[in-house]
Amino acid sequence: MPKVPYHLFRPEHLTSRVVFASPHSGRDYPWSFLRHTVLDEHSIRSSEDAYVDRLFDCAPQFGAAFLKAGAPRAFIDLNRAPDELDPALVEGVRRSGHNPRVASGLGVVPRVVANGRAIYRGKLPFAEAERRIRDYWHPYHATLQSALDDAHAAFGEALLIDCHSMPHEAVDGIARGGARRPEIVIGDRFGASASPDFVDRIEAAFTAAGFAVSRNTPFAGAYITQHYGRPARRQHAVQIEIDRAIYMDEMRIRPNAQFHTVRKALRGIIAEIAALGAPRIDSLAAE
């Protein structure tokens, strides 16, 4: 099984209320898992947010914590609720209402990867799904909440940046009338998961760096944004989706020629976002 549920990188000095996290970039595919799938080692990576961790791993240099998954999305989906179990995959699970994510095979233990390709032949024992949730889902989320609590304790407020990538075709049809195709989609659950000021400033940072940005279309944020976004408690969550085509070869799942250019541009944006939590100079002077 995957060696660890997560990797947490803390800054030398916590100077930001922002926590960056990448729940879908885990790429530890042990043989014990692969031998139970009907997919090859390349195909099973198709739903992975490949290299997103490398795009955002500079966050601790700007005083912010960075958390990334250890287990891959095809093994356990950390952006789902722990009870989003798929009765078509997990033995003993009964259908209860309609959940479009579960129905499409994208529950907490996924049944399919990109383009609806089945991961397994047959069902998984309930005990196996339970074990993955216990050993990987819960440790990741406990650590994420702990990092947010640390930021909140230090600054009175915490902001989660939930980092993802999207297939290039995901934004087909979004750009109309000659507008640029979105390269970045910012999700705040249509204003429910974060302060508008934070979201406006995040969008402005991407726009100023030359990226075409869309808000909440086609991705408004899933479980993590909804669960952790509690503006009334001064805990905010914003999802960032990056078009994979601008930094990687989607077919080969490798960085493309623009990877380092995009990474450099994101470094500046990450610095700006992390600075949203930096202590104000004038308030320090007044102490």
Tens of pLDDT, residues 71-93: 999 999 999 999 999 999 999 99
Q: Report the chain's mean pLDDT, rounded to a whole number.
A: 94
Pick the closest to residue 199 from 162, 227, 147 (CA basis). 162
Per-residue confidence (pLDDT) for residue 280, from 0 to 100: 53
* Cα–Cα distance measured from residue 214 to residue 239, given in angstroms and rounded to the nearest whole number: 12
Per-residue confidence (pLDDT) for residue 277, from 0 to 100: 58
Amino acid of residue 30: P
* Cα–Cα distance measured from residue 32 to residue 127, given in angstroms and rounded to the nearest whole number: 16
Per-residue confidence (pLDDT) for residue 285, from 0 to 100: 43
Scanning the structure block, which residue is given the tokens 């005083």?
Answer: 63
Regions in the chain scoring below 50 on pLDDT: 281-287
Tens of pLDDT, residues 204-218: 999 999 999 999 999
Per-residue confidence (pLDDT) for residue 179, from 0 to 100: 76
Per-residue confidence (pLDDT) for residue 231, from 0 to 100: 98
Per-residue confidence (pLDDT) for residue 19, from 0 to 100: 98
Contacts 24+ apart (CB under 8 A), 193-197: 193/221, 193/225, 193/226, 193/228, 193/229, 193/231, 193/236, 193/237, 193/238, 194/159, 194/229, 194/231, 194/236, 194/237, 194/238, 195/231, 195/236
Per-residue confidence (pLDDT) for residue 180, from 0 to 100: 85
Helix axes 259-274, 196-208, angle to 10 degrees: 150
Cβ pair 19, 151 in contact under 8 A: yes
Per-residue confidence (pLDDT) for residue 177, from 0 to 100: 65
What 8-state DSSP symbol labels residue 25?
-
